[in-house]
Amino acid sequence: MHFTAITLGMLSAAAGLVAAWFWYQCSLVRPIPVWPNAAATVPDGGDVTALMMGGTAVLVALTEAGRLNGIAARWIAASVLLGVFSNTIGCYQ
């Protein structure tokens, strides 16, 4: 088989592994609320500030998970594209 096809295939596999790592990192994102005081640890609707801080933590976590997901999607697209090039070159050798 042609050296270029093998190299592209290996790069495709590496890009897929990078994408998997980013998706794994995305799965580890958790909201960590910073409560304004100890009494607001479990907000029961009485403390609006505590509820807002919890909502902010969720938004921050969702933003980070979305960012990591977008990076992983780009890496998987690169992996697929490299795989297509590898297969195309391999067919003509």
One-character DSSP codes across 22-78: HHHHHHT-------SSGGGSS--SS-HHHHHHHHHHHHHHHHHHHHHHHHHHHHHHH
Q: Which two tokens stand for residue 78?
A: 């690169």
Q: What is the pTM of this model?
A: 0.75
Report the first-to-last Cα separation within the chain, whole angstroms. 7
pLDDT the model gives residue 45: 53
pLDDT the model gives residue 82: 96
> pLDDT tens, position by position, for the chain (93 residues)?
689 999 999 999 999 999 999 999 999 998 877 665 555 455 555 555 555 566 778 888 899 999 999 999 999 999 999 999 999 998 887
List C-alpha distances in Å: 53 to 44, 56, 61. 13, 5, 12
pLDDT the model gives residue 56: 78
Domains of the chain by residue range: 3-33+42-91
